[in-house]
Structure 1
Amino acid sequence: MHHDHLRASSLLLGSVAAGWLGWSGDLLSLSLAAGFPLLWSHARTRAQALTVSATYFMSASRGLPQGVANYYASDIWPGLLLWLIASTGFVLVHTALWTDRSGWRKPLRFLIACVIMAVPPLGILGWAHPITAAGVLFPAWGWWGLLAMTLILLLMTMRHWLIAVIVSAGFWLSSSAIATESAQPALWHGIDLKMGVSLGRDQSLERQGALMAIIHRSVSHHASRTVVVLPESALGFWTPAIARLWQRELSGTAITVIAGTVVVDADGYDNVLVSLNASGSAIVYRQRMPVPGSMWQPWLKALGDRGGARAHFFANPVVDVDQTRIAPLMCYEQLIVWPVIQSMLHDPDLIVAPGNVWWTRGTSMMDIQRASAKAWARLFGKPLIMAFNQ
């Protein structure tokens, strides 16, 4: 009995560490997330598998309650409820697929769980996916790195799990000792802002002028032909007047601006990226997966209501801007698996990752998003342009 309690306590503490430290926002610590399948496979009962899955996921997503409270300017209780709801998919999948039978069954079932949590519908809540650690252990390996990471995760669930731990540690030491990040394109620049909740909500000419001034200052020391990336929601609501204002401001320059904005119609809205230059403007990307709950609210239509952001699940995985093929990952898309995998199938030139994360203050969520985007960029050897508003 004492041995069983010790084992259960060890699994609990291990899953907390894998979630908390693995998803701390430090890039190299992401490799600790690969320990989750080891802990899951060592559960002796389905109840233990449930506990391991829940503590791992909830430790990894621990910033959600505070983030929800910040977003809605409310107390912590709605955030705690959403935290529990968000964990349900991950926990139920891994609990249902757990087995105490040895041999090939455990790795096969874990592989099925990995796939289910990587693609819609349950992949919509597929945060903290351990496959993300591929970019840490196998930088620049691309699809071979993704395959190698999958094999590591499956080996973690088998009798020879110690081999997987030793191999992972060796690759971690090798990758952490060698700088492998791709060089930034000289003509592309991401601009971080600290405009808080007002970004996207302040539609005044003064705010547009302030953004333009920031852009001109940022490119003053660079070549005249420049692509500048602003955060998600930077321009607020997209209107013809805003488009004309920016075109007039950029006339006579070779600057192209990629910025987040919102296109509203009678049925809801699209969270998009627009491209602006002296020649005009165009919507170049419609977000594939807005944040569930706060933005994407599919139940509204079922209730006969309107509103909420539309999800363009598998649309526009890559877009062309200024003769460059880019893979956009807007905010929430940096935390889940299928958008980046779909984009990489088209072999883009670089990844563009904007976000509006003012609501994550007091949490590690912004750092986690950055680390996740960096991991995917490292895995496929792609330059990464980020632009965040805090």
Structure 2
Amino acid sequence: MRFSPSRHEILLQVALVVLSVAVGAVGWSGNPLALPLTMLFPALWASARSRMTAALVSAAYFLAASRGLPQGVANFYGSDIWPGLLLWLGASLSFTLVHLLLWTGRPGGGRAVRFGLAAVLMAVPPFGIVGWAHPLTAAGVLFPGCAWLGLAGAMAVLTVMTTNWWRAAAITIAGIWLWSAASWTAPPLPDGIVGVDLDMGQSLGRDSSLGRQHDLITTVMQAARGDGAIVVLPESALGFWTPSVERLWRDALGDRDLLVIAGAAVIDSRGYDNVLVEIAGREAGILYRERMPVPVSMWQPWRGAMGKNGGARANLFANPIIQLAGRRIAPLICYEQLVVWPVLQSMLHRPNAIIAIGNCWWTAGTSIIDIQNASTIAWAHLFGLPLVTAINR
């Protein structure tokens, strides 16, 4: 005989989906202190009474968390909303598929293990390439300064949330959150490093005129706080990194004891690298090549399979740490701040600070830039590291 769910059962499943939307939207509102709310997602996923409901709960959480993507894509390409909607839905498939396949209706330790596996899969490539909105990010709010032990603690809480002990876990999260919120402060700035935010819109990196370079040089000189300063400019600030641009900046810096770190692009016949360059009066060069550019808009791996060139290269596991004035720095460019594995890969090398840059003009009218900032702050708190940011809006 075919089972027909009761009205109460249907309402319960609808409520799970609605709650998942709320958890995704509020947890990923851009306020770091809201991140612990995302740790309710495993309980909602585990409460599903069918695989289809588990898929709907997962999709609802992810789509609510990444709700700014359609408008962001429309801003970036100067198009209507439809391409962004398609990309938004496409990006959710990875998260939904993993949680759909690993869901089980059997309660107990097996379900907890399955969710733990889903969390790991969404944290590392290939699924982790679009592993946005990962609940593990909340570890920085709940366990500041606890580093890997705090990450393990957050993982344990997430898995317990899928068991009959989820209420006790939720109460524990609430208590820790209240304690953390009462003493919450912004991450400190690294000594001697200054981040410069810009408000140049989409012209940054596209305006390659001499006048724009001189404006940036003037901005750097004003931001420098005495000798020995390191000034950080946003992603794409210098446009294409060429010998002419290098010579212009080195001449401008001259004999000053000043180091500039800036975003740029290095292009060749096969594509380009999104990079950080370091510039001083006596020398300059590439400091870091982005590990994970934005999929689709920048990173287009299918072009190679089609025999075409172009697009940004993904240096997936290269250069997780840069050496800067005797310090080990974890570099994060834009999209790398939204996914888990670039951060954790860098943390394995015990950095002394984090430098996070972005060119976020295309996020206007969305919560993306706030979410990106909240994520970076949470990771800096978890590992007790100073953080400097440089963002163009």
Q: 1:292 matched to which residue of 2? A: 295
CA contact (8 A) 2:279 2:285 kept: yes
Q: 2:245 matched to which residue of 1? A: 242
**How many aligned positions are there?**
388
Q: Secondary structure at the match of 1:102?
A: coil
Q: 2:219 matched to which residue of 1? A: 214
Deviations 1:280-310 (A, max 9, x none): 1010100000000000000001111100000
Which of 379, 387, 391 is matched with 1:388 structurally? Answer: 391
Q: 2:195 matched to which residue of 1? A: 190
Q: Secondary structure at the match of 1:263?
A: strand
For 1:149, give the aligned amino acid.
A
How far the C-alpha of 1:5 sits from its partner, in A, is: 2.3
Structure 2 distance, partners of 1:276, 1:218, is 15
Q: 1:352 matched to which residue of 2? A: 355
Instruction: Provide TM-score, normalisation by structure 1.
Output: 0.98
Structure 2 distance, partners of 1:158, 1:116, is 20
How far the C-alpha of 1:8 sits from its partner, in A, is: 1.2
Q: 1:157 matched to which residue of 2? A: 162
How far the C-alpha of 1:215 sits from its partner, in A, is: 1.1
Q: Is 1:363 matched up with 2:366? A: yes
Q: 1:112 matched to which residue of 2? A: 117
**Which runs of structure 2 are paired with 1:197-276 in the superposition (5 Å)?**
197-219=202-224, 222-276=225-279
Which of 335, 339, 344 is matched with 2:338 structurally? Answer: 335
- Greater CA drift, 2-11 or 325-334: 2-11
Structure 1 distance, partners of 2:391, 2:375, is 14
**Which runs of structure 2 are paired with 1:294-333 in the superposition (5 Å)?**
294-333=297-336
Structure 2 distance, partners of 1:167, 1:314, is 36
Structure 1 distance, partners of 2:263, 2:72, is 21
Which of 119, 124, 128 is matched with 2:129 structurally? Answer: 124
Structure 2 distance, partners of 1:127, 1:200, is 26
CA contact (8 A) 1:187 1:223 kept: no
Q: Quote the sequence identity (%).
A: 56
Q: 1:65 matched to which residue of 2? A: 70
Q: Is 1:174 matched up with 2:174? A: no
Deviations 1:74-110 (A, max 9, x none): 0000000000111010000001100000111111000
Q: Secondary structure at the match of 1:329?
A: strand
Q: CA RMSD in A?
A: 0.8
Instruction: Provide TM-score, normalisation by structure 2.
Output: 0.98
CA contact (8 A) 2:161 2:169 kept: yes
Q: Secondary structure at the match of 1:327?
A: strand
Structure 2: give runs of 5+ residues left out of the alignment.
1-5
The list of structure 1 runs, each at least 4 consecutive aligned residues, that deviate by more than 3 angstroms after superposition, is 179-182
Deviations 1:126-153 (A, max 9, x none): 0001000000111111011000000010
How far the C-alpha of 1:181 sits from its partner, in A, is: 4.4
CA contact (8 A) 1:351 1:385 kept: yes
How far the C-alpha of 1:24 sits from its partner, in A, is: 0.6
Structure 2 distance, partners of 1:181, 1:371, is 10
Residues 194, 180 of structure 1: alpha-carbon distance in 2 compared, 3 angstrom cutoff: closer
How far the C-alpha of 1:2 sits from its partner, in A, is: 2.5
Q: Secondary structure at the match of 2:371?
A: helix
Q: Secondary structure at the match of 1:74?
A: coil
CA contact (8 A) 1:181 1:381 kept: no
Structure 1: give runs of 5+ residues left out of the alignment.
none
Q: Secondary structure at the match of 1:292?
A: coil
For 1:74, give the aligned amino acid.
S
For 2:69, give the aligned amino acid.
L
How far the C-alpha of 1:180 sits from its partner, in A, is: 5.0
Structure 2 distance, partners of 1:49, 1:243, is 53
Q: Secondary structure at the match of 2:31?
A: coil
For 1:278, give the aligned amino acid.
G
How far the C-alpha of 1:252 sits from its partner, in A, is: 2.2
Structure 2 distance, partners of 1:289, 1:197, is 21
For 1:71, give the aligned amino acid.
F
For 1:325, give the aligned amino acid.
R
Q: 1:379 matched to which residue of 2? A: 382
How far the C-alpha of 1:14 sits from its partner, in A, is: 0.9
